Amino acid sequence: MAQQSPYLPEMSTAREGNKLFSWNYALRHFDDLGAVRVSLYIFLRDLIPGTLLAICWLAKHPAALSGSPYQWRLPQLSLIDMAMLACTTFCWQLIAGGRLATGRNLLRKQFFANLAGALCCSAMVYGVVSTNGAHARPLLLSAAFFAAASVMSTMLLAAACVVRWAVVTYVVNKRDVVLVGSGPKAQILFAELMDSTSHRVVGIVDDEFVGTPQMQKLYMGGIDRLREILKVFPVQLAYSALPMKSMYNEGQRAITICEQIGVEVRHSAHMFDTRIAEVDAYASAHGMVAILRMVHQDSTRIFKRALDILFASALIIMSSPLLAAAAIAIRLTSKGPIFFAQERYGLNRKRFRIFKLRTMVVDAEAQMANLEAKNEVDGPVFKIRRDPRITPVGHFLRKSSIDELPQLWNVIKGDMSLVGPRPLAVRDVMRFEHSSHLRRFSVMPGLTCLWQISGRNNTDFETWVRQDLDYIDRWSLMLDMRILLGTVPAVLWGRGAM
């Protein structure tokens, strides 16, 4: 196993203490909290004009809600009422959700955008009501609309901010970041990241370190060390703060390393100094950034996770009699525990314990050193067809893949998915010769993938990795379904199993 370099300090994966909520804290980090970009917040915010007009109409027609709920009836809407609803809603969306509420300092911008939207909509209400003559006091009505819209939007904004802060602080773990660079721009970015709600700087690389004393504690060496750092530690993100003009080659080298391993790269979009032009587009709390993602990300990933939990839970319940029978057979035919746990590499090279039914003798890992010469698979992985360590029951469990059923618990826990590259043992990963092979850990590992339905152990290691990378690049829910359907006959007929 590769030894950890003395120049690489230990990275703590423990959860940091949660910060108490304060409005000053929210004001600084609203860009990270991202409440303005949450679909539910936008949906509720855009309902404010229609809600207030509905209340006004129902107040004008109190008989509509008289009697029992079965006798309620909506008041008849005139063309003027419908036009006012459409115009106020459009005006509100145009102002509250427009350019005025984008870019940095989102909390302030959204607050004032809501006030501006409420003011414009109230002026529109005043104009329509005063010409319609349906209300005796149009000025009072429009003032009430402005006050109510302002209060509702502010309360909704505060609620969205608090909820999003709670999710980021108590539910979502911070993303571990390696900072590339230590110059003036890197020092500013480092200070912002250290105060971030969603990121944690765990290391800094630069060929010539010129950072602050606080950055010195996290300095790990030159950019050439980045490959080793990303291989050893579960870093999810690399932030590049190198000057593009004078250090283009160094920045390109860092990006190439991250690209091979499958780590997301972010670089400041402010590549040029400007005096007049102002960049004000979709931004984070750390300024405009160019994001180089190595994995396709969208809302379907959430749907994939929901399906994992649903199907894994159902499969555990359905297979419980089979698991019980296998456990009894293991207990009666060999000494040792029923289950086998081993440390494997998972998403972003983060290690976790995988669970299987024990199919080998208790000291199987200790015997591996004596069997290395008999390895029948090219590459770093170890597999032999007639492994003497496998128990008689273990042969059947491995050929039928029953031994892997406990991994459904890993799926429910969130360590694995139903479909994804198989998680590899630490021993195997440390023997990788090409850093590009590490990109297979940029997605969550799974119970089955293209390799399992293409011959399993009849496939050489390079083809195995190529199929995993092909799955990552072509991923879709439809591809997952095809792999799951193809896994059933592969398991039933035991193709390529060892």
Is the model's pTM score more than 0.75?
A: no
Mean pLDDT across 126-146 = 76
Mean pLDDT across 118-127 = 86
Q: Encoding tokens for residue 178?
A: 């390696």
Res 333 pLDDT > 60: yes
Q: Determine which of 126-135, 186-195, 277-286, 326-335 has the lowest per-residue pLDDT on average.
A: 277-286
Do the Cβ atoms of 64 and 73 come closer than 8 Å?
yes
More confident: 161 or 282: 161
Range list of H helices, 18-75: 23-33, 39-46, 48-60
**pLDDT digit string, tens, across residues 172-205:** 667 889 999 998 888 988 988 887 767 889 899 9
Domains of the chain: 23-171 (no CATH), 175-292 (3.40.50.720), 300-493 (no CATH)
The confidence score (pLDDT) of residue 35 equals: 54
Residue 67 burial by CB count (10 A; 0-12/13-18/19+): exposed, middle or buried? exposed
The dihedral formed by the CA atoms of 119, 121, 127 and 132, expressed in degrees to the nearest 10: -140
The confidence score (pLDDT) of residue 259 equals: 86
Mean pLDDT across 282-296 = 61
The rounded Cα 169 to chain-centroid distance in angstroms is 15
Phi and psi angles of residue 388, each rounded to the nearest 5 degrees, phi first:
-70, -10
Res 442 pLDDT > 80: yes
Phi and psi angles of residue 422, each rounded to the nearest 5 degrees, phi first:
-65, 135
Return d(Cα 122, Cα 150) in angstroms, integer: 10
Q: Encoding tokens for residue 144?
A: 């009430």
Cα distances (angstroms) measured from residue 233 to each of 84, 123, 236, 257, 381:
58, 58, 9, 14, 21
**pLDDT digit string, tens, across residues 90-114:** 888 888 876 555 556 677 788 888 8
Mean pLDDT across 148-173 = 80
Return d(Cα 328, Cα 266) in angstroms, integer: 52
